[in-house]
Structure 1
Amino acid sequence: MEITNQHAALLCSPGMGHIIPVLELGKRLVTHQNFTVTIFVVPLHTSKAESELLDASAFPHSLDIIKLPSPDISGLVEPDAVVVTRLTEMMRQVRPTFRAALHDMINFRHRCPTMLIVDLFGTESLPIAEEFGIPKYVYIASNAWFLSVMIYSPTLDEQVKGKFVDLKDPLEIPGCRKLFPELDIVDALLDWSNQQYDEHMLMGRGIPKGDGILINIWEELEPKSLAALRDENFLGRFVKVPIFPIGPLMRPNVSSIPRGDVFDWLDKQPNETVIYVSFGSGGALSYEQMVELAWGLEMSQQRFVWVIRPPIISSANETFFTAGNHNGEDDNLTKYLPKGFMGRTKDIGFVIPLWAPQVDVLAHPSVGGFLTHCGWNSTLESITNGVPMIAWPLYAEQRLNATLLTEELGVAVRSKIPPWKNVVKREEIEEMVRKIMEGEEGFALRDRAKNLKFSGAKALEQGGSSYDALSLFTKHANMFVQFANGVDPSSQVP
């Protein structure tokens, strides 16, 4: 008896960077594996873009969205708690609501899920799957090097005395690229006295407790890290469950959207001559850094599209939960730019307040570079359009991503002064923009990005590595369902 009516329940943590890859996984399960999918999400309600993203009218018939009420965690975390701490506490407190929703689905809607898939911040909900007797998986919407660091962090915690960031020597990750504390380390590991450190360790221990791990890359992108995660002589001894690289999954280009002024402007520019500048759905800069970036763009005399937001006041983390809540200030954002900037750059630049249809901008033929915060969604959107990058990490795992892009994949450049340490000056910004847009190094970066574009597209096609990995995942889940129904899969005729 082969189980053909798989019904996946996906649990998604708040934030555009988490919702997008979970939605795209859900869509692919429906369209390519004939699944029924229910996605449980905790929305932040911070922007129009998030509301549009969760508009059910845009989903396949067999995909449903259930919005869980956001729990009040004000009495559980400090007022200045960072993103990792707040998200993990939110997902911890939402567990009773999520369990009740699953119970109602099974008992009143007669739609019993055959598996549970959680994202990184939902690992503490894996035991709920065990209560309902269904297999459980973890979806890492990032890269294999990041997964390796997550898996190995509890071991590093036992080995290293003191703070990681104070170490002079690199951290050894078995079978993977070394982790240089000063440059690559993820925010959560910076300070062991901060609650986010403990939350990071809990997630690192929780990921291998799934029955398998899905990851938003393709086999050919990071073969070394994937091999280490599967090898019992390296990281495989900590994982012991199959890993399914099923990416790149991201928002598709939407040719039917209203074109708008930015596309009218882009249509008039020569191919690969515009650099797109954006720091993600929740990223922002200090006022001083905004001014330096503006001068750097102007001095480079390269064409640009820049998505601007109000400057941060205290830390980059704060904007994650307030993105989009600017009380109509979008009309006045140019006040943060140097006097006369808009007039001096009117022939080479286009400034957009708050938000832009990023996938469609990056897909435009005139775009030839991307100054990015290195969030994994943005990274994939750039790579899969063959666009090289200037890496400008802000928080979370973005420093690690920046190193992967610059030193391993060779599709990005980065500043000599890390932007989290000090203000990057206009002269260096001008140099990086010119390098990526008109220098020989930029052409080489673009060639490598285009090669990765074709590699990623091939992986998703029938017979490609990611297409096959998703099919293997389905068979793996089927095996668990069959065992639960008292069927021995080994007795089935191939």
Structure 2
Amino acid sequence: MGVVVNTFLELESHVMSSFFDGLTLPIYPVGPILRLQRDEGDKGLDRAREKEEIKKWLDDQPPSSVVFLCFGSMGSFDEDQLKEISKALEHSGHRFLWSLRRAPPKGTIVFPSGYDNPKEILTDGFLDRTSMLGKIIGWAPQTDILAHPAVGGFVSHCGWNSILESLWFGVPIAAWPIDGEQQLNAFQMVVELGLGVEIKLDYRKDFLSDDEVKMVTAEEIERGINSLMQSNSEIKRKVKEMSEKSKKALMESGSSHTSFGHFIDNLMS
């Protein structure tokens, strides 16, 4: 018996060492397990066109110049928060690719949808004033975007898959956790490992109730984005190093490759 974990020793050595004392079930870090190649053929021609349009826009941007904002398949904000994000992006002056999603009605559990007309909910004139700097999208082919050389930073909810993907491609994260374990993931990335910057973490205080507004101001968002996009920063250097380690972990004799072999051996014994 044992526990297979989608992580790798070099990323969470401080955690893994506490499990390697022989007093617990064996832990097998075998990651990063990522779905890097996605077949969108079953989604129809519209999805393929969206993907190609995003790629063409990124191809026209300078290397490491674009900040990508995406909050997972369930991530969305109300209109007041979206306006704060738009103010921050405009004031920062950075190029951006923003996966903008409509929040589902309260009390429902459905996937957020895209906006037919983003002008209706963003700051007046925002799209016109930023037309040369940014692009608003709905659905986002996240791994394809993170893999593109134009992308230099990732504003994320810090879901574990998103973290592993960002590290794999060497793109630093600005942490904006929304639900569940994302707070713990963000704390680990920003505070413990120094592999990300903070936009808003709530670990310093009691969690707010669902009825309270967790508004993040434009100033806070802009500060996080500017920190994220600093060239030649220490965080970017550390993320690049961890990117190399994540790839080596899966190679023959790498930590995850070896761990998986031990897992198979124990199954067969």
Note the C-alpha offset of 1:243: 0.7
Q: Report what 1:477 is aligned to.
A: 267
Does 1 or 2 have the higher relative contact order (CA < 8 Å, sep 6+)? 2
Which amino acid in the other structure matches residue 394 of structure 1? I
Which of 124, 128, 136 is the equivalent residue of 1:339? 124
Task: List structure 1 segments (4+ residues) > 4 angstroms apart after TM superposition.
Answer: 253-259, 312-315
After superposition, residues 336-485 of structure 1 pair within 5 angstroms as 336-353=121-138, 355-415=139-199, 418=202, 422-438=214-230, 443-479=233-269
Note the C-alpha offset of 1:289: 1.1
Percent sequence identity over aligned pairs = 36
| 1:378-399 Cα shifts (integer Å, max 9, x gaps) | 0111011101111000001000
Q: Does 1:225 align with 2:10?
A: no
Note the C-alpha offset of 1:256: 9.8
CA distance in 2, matches of 1:334, 1:459: 45
Q: Report what 1:267 is aligned to.
A: 59
Q: Is the 8 A contact 2:186 2:201 kept in 1?
A: no
CA distance in 2, matches of 1:260, 1:339: 29
Q: Is the 8 A contact 1:305 1:351 kept in 2?
A: yes
Which amino acid in the other structure matches residue 225 of structure 2? V
| 1:332-368 Cα shifts (integer Å, max 9, x gaps) | 3442212211111110101001x11100100000000
Q: Is the 8 A contact 1:371 1:389 kept in 2?
A: yes
Which of 303, 315, 319 is the equivalent residue of 2:95? 303
Give the TM-score normalised by the residue count of structure 1: 0.49
CA distance in 2, matches of 1:407, 1:417: 10
388 and 397 in structure 1: CA distance in 2 versus 1, 3 angstrom threshold:
same
CA distance in 1, matches of 2:267, 2:140: 38
Instruction: Give the match's secondary structure for 2:246.
Output: helix
Q: Does 1:322 align with 2:106?
A: no
- Which structure's CA Rg is the greater one? 1
Higher helix residue share: 1
Q: Which runs of 5+ in 1 are unaligned?
A: 1-210, 480-494
Q: Does 1:212 align with 2:8?
A: no
| 1:374-419 Cα shifts (integer Å, max 9, x gaps) | 0000011101110111100000100000010001221111135649
378 and 416 in structure 1: CA distance in 2 versus 1, 3 angstrom threshold:
closer
CA distance in 2, matches of 1:410, 1:301: 25
Q: Which runs of 5+ in 2 are unaligned?
A: 42-47, 209-213
Instruction: Give the match's secondary structure for 1:351.
Output: strand
Instruction: Give the match's secondary structure for 1:293.
Output: helix
Which amino acid in the other structure matches residue 249 of structure 1? I
CA distance in 2, matches of 1:404, 1:314: 30
After superposition, residues 8-27 of structure 1 pair within 5 angstroms as none
468 and 274 in structure 1: CA distance in 2 versus 1, 3 angstrom threshold:
same
Matched residues, number: 253
Q: Is the 8 A contact 2:146 2:171 kept in 1?
A: yes
Q: Is the 8 A contact 2:250 2:257 kept in 1?
A: yes
